[in-house]
A and B are shown apart, each in its own frame.
Chain A
Amino acid sequence: NAGVTQTPKFRILKIGQSMTLQCAQDMNHNYMYWYRQDPGMGLKLIYYSVGAGITDKGEVPNGYNVSRSTTEDFPLRLELAAPSQTSVYFCASSYSPGGSNQPQHFGDGTRLSIL
């Protein structure tokens, strides 16, 4: 039972570099989400998807891009890394929107530092 798998677990980037954070789920969930969590803060929604081919912005989308070509995968791309993007990134999925009837399932996170 893999659930939600995020790779890599840790990464250090230089300012201006780009990278893709990977997220995969094996529960056939339509809804997927990307959050960031800064130290001592709650999670903030970056982007979400309600199904393959459909994505939309969350509360803090600037500096990020997403795509959803399959039900299983929801990668998050940073094009020009900035120090303000140093954070822990969590991917989540759910059967229903916002876990309205069943809860969201979270990955273990990707810890990203930009120097």
Chain B
Amino acid sequence: KQEVTQIPAALSVPEGENLVLNCSFTDSAIYNLQWFRQDPGKGLTSLLLIQSSQREQTSGRLNASLDKSSGRSTLYIAASQPGDSATYLCAVYNNNDMRFGAGTRLTVKP
């Protein structure tokens, strides 16, 4: 059974800092991995999608990497801003089954 773990559960940083969020999964047989952002009281917004054959994806200040063999992914946020404050979730997909981590709640202080 696929299990997805995100560490840390919560993170507070000053504005401008670079930071890394971690995601690990137990079964390397995945089709893709996605990083989502969730704002309070809202649904999820997809940030980056990495296919199993890819090593990383970039969008603006965000960079996500994938090491399928070790069951790990990282989300790197450069020059963090208060508007980045949200919960970030990773999810792995395979065979019509998507498994989510519990998320990392990020607070960026002005």
| A interface, CB within 8 angstroms of B | 4, 33, 35, 40-45, 48, 50, 56, 58-59, 90, 92, 97-100, 102-109
Find chain A residues with CB under 8 A from B76 CB. Answer: none
Could you tell me if A108 and B43 are in contact, using CB atoms closer than 8 angstroms? Answer: yes
Query: Which among B41, B42, B43, B45 has the highest number of chain A CB atoms within 10 Å?
Result: B43
B49 and chain A: residue at smallest CB distance: A103
Bound CA–CA A64/B99 (angstroms): 19
| Interface assignment of B44: CB less than 8 Å from any CB of chain A | yes
| B interface, CB within 8 angstroms of A | 4, 31-32, 34, 41-46, 49, 51, 89, 91, 93-94, 96-103
Could you tell me if B43 and A44 are in contact, using CB atoms closer than 8 angstroms? Answer: no
Could you tell me if A103 and B101 are in contact, using CB atoms closer than 8 angstroms? Answer: no
Could you tell me if B32 and A98 are in contact, using CB atoms closer than 8 angstroms? Answer: yes
Could you tell me if B99 and A42 are in contact, using CB atoms closer than 8 angstroms? Answer: yes
B102 and chain A: residue at smallest CB distance: A42
Query: Which among A4, A56, A105 has the highest number of chain B CB atoms within 10 Å?
Result: A105
If A40-B102, A98-B31 touch, does A107 touch B43 (CB 8 Å cutoff)? yes
Q: Chain A's nearest CB lies how many Å from the CB of B59?
A: 11
